[in-house]
Chain A
């Protein structure tokens, strides 16, 4: 006879966490080696600009949407930007999350108020729902979406919802915390094997495009 959800929580904190981190690191190493080993064709044309500065510039310039893009797709641009920042704050600045990171990697930094994180969770979730509705309502976007697009939406939303429920004591705490940890582990494990790979390739891919354009003397 045990506390409901306790075995699951203990598994998630032990073996589950080891599996998630193991699969994640395996996937990240595989992806990075595979991508970088593809190499680049030698560009025999004389350089018209600097590749390195172009690369670094693009890493940052892509934070700003291309001209006209925001006006054309305001919901996606504004919503997309906001939910990414929401996730960033929720994942890395919620104090119990920092405690997990500190206990795992020894790194720690100041967090922000749990009440702010709580509100951010609601906003981020609402934006993700709006973005899903926009995707589903537009025939072309729906046509372009495949199973993986919906899968990564679910993978992203599950830890948000279960974390909110655990924090606000919606439902029994222990099973909810166990579900939250497990859903986060599922997300971590699948990052390298889905489009969520961009979580660790966005810098290098932006640099690649920027450097490519920079060498040609154009902006990217």
Chain B
């Protein structure tokens, strides 16, 4: 049973009263109901503790905090997006402990996952916002079009209006995915919808960016776990990302890094270097300029990540990655065509050279014309 199905079966109809949410069982009870052993739970807490770069001794505290954590209300808004972020967080494969942690929050609105639709769905969102005013977590995926409100609406409400309204009563805002964090594909040149990231609209509250196309499920749940454990958001870097997950570049943590240091590179995707697993820098890997946890946490339950599968990192968690040149060009290589510039510059140089040469020639002729022979007498000599 996938998480969406779990969600629907657990919550039943969406028509229940939001006020009842406060009476939802805490995580400890949820885990017990799901048959998760104490050992399994402690293992998960240790993993989370490690993911959050906390000392191992903190694991019991994380467990204690998670066990007694109240279930915060979460409102998830989806704007100009492809639902890949939702796919990522819900399709996390077995073991589904991360999934459980996700279920441990009270997801009160998510128009892909909820059973309700139409007015009932919007009523649930409004009720949750009212009942949990100032306390709920607002998660957003997708960018917001400012070019025309009609480009993207939900129940006739423009994305911008819905975000502004929902952000007012939020304890914190989490922008999930590169579109919400940095504008992503919709904001790529020429940005036809006038798309902007969440942080462009929400400026009076902390906005946590969890970029990635999509982000790693464990990173999303890790941020939620941090919030549950410490009742505050994790430390963020200059680009609004949790330092614990985005502190290093893919290149810093890549298992192929020694090949880069040795100067052993794949020249293509099927040459000897590729078969030997050498560094993919020359075929355009964006690992050196991409901050994410793919090389350490990996995907599909830690099975692999793009570089391990033989393809370079495309830098999907970076701002403006769609406009950062070809995915298959080395990170330091020029992105612009220099041919026209080179032609014009060389022609202009030759022209300027000819002009300077003409001036030189003129000066030479003038000097020759004006020169008069110096006699020995003029030099003070005697004949």
Contacts and interface: CB of A to CB of B under 8 A. Distances in A.
Interface of A: 1-4, 6, 9-10, 13-15, 17-18, 21-34, 37-38, 95-96, 99-100, 103-104, 111-117, 169, 173-174, 177, 181
Contact of B332 (A6, A29, A34, A177): A177
B332 A99 contact: yes
6 contacts: A6-B318, A14-B334, A14-B335, A33-B352, A33-B356, A116-B263
A169 B252 CA distance: 8
A31 to B, nearest CB: 7
Pairs of residues from A and B, 7 with the lowest C-beta to C-beta distance, nearest first: A33-B353, A29-B349, A37-B357, A103-B333, A22-B345, A26-B349, A114-B263
B249 A173 contact: yes
A29 B344 contact: no
B336 A15 contact: yes
Given A22-B341, A33-B357, A99 B330 contact: yes
A114 B260 contact: yes
A18 B338 contact: yes
Contacts of A177: 288-289, 331-332
A97 to B, nearest CB: 8
Q: Is the interface of A mostly helix, strand, loop or mixed?
A: helix
A186 B336 CA distance: 17
Given A32-B353, A38-B357, A103-B330, A25 B345 contact: yes
Contacts of B319: 1-3, 6
Contacts of A37: 353-354, 356-357, 360-361
Contacts of A115: 261-263
Contact of B325 (A1, A13, A95, A100): A13
B132 interface: no
A100 B345 contact: no
Contacts of A1: 182, 197, 199, 209, 238-240, 319
The B contact surface, by secondary structure, is helix
Given A25-B346, A30-B353, A113-B262, A100 B332 contact: yes
Contacts of A116: 263
Nearest to A184: B332
B332 A22 contact: no
B125 interface: no
Contacts of A96: 281-282, 330, 332
Given A1-B197, A10-B324, 6 more contacts: A1-B182, A6-B324, A14-B336, A17-B334, A99-B282, A169-B252
Nearest to B199: A1
Interface string B238-271: 1110000000010110000000111101000000
A3 B281 contact: no
A145 B122 CA distance: 77
B340 to A, nearest CB: 9
B67 interface: no
Contacts of A99: 281-282, 330, 332-333
Contacts of A21: 338, 341-342, 345
A28 B348 CA distance: 11
Contacts of A15: 336
Contacts, number: 154
A77 to B, nearest CB: 31
B293 to A, nearest CB: 16
Contacts of A29: 345-350, 352-353
- Which of A27, A30, A169: most chain B CB closer than 10 A? A30
A4 B360 CA distance: 49
Contacts of B261: 114-115
Nearest to A172: B249
Contacts of B251: 173
B263 A112 contact: yes
A44 B289 CA distance: 64
A183 B350 CA distance: 26
A104 B334 contact: yes
A21 B353 CA distance: 17
A95 to B, nearest CB: 5
B320 interface: yes
Contacts of B334: 13-14, 17-18, 100, 103-104
Residue in B260, B320, B338, B344 with the greatest tally of chain A CB atoms within 10 Å: B338
A13 B332 contact: yes
B201 to A, nearest CB: 12
Output the residue of B324, B333, B346 with the most chain A CB within 10 A. Answer: B333
A2 B249 CA distance: 15
A30 B332 contact: no
B108 to A, nearest CB: 28
A174 B346 contact: no
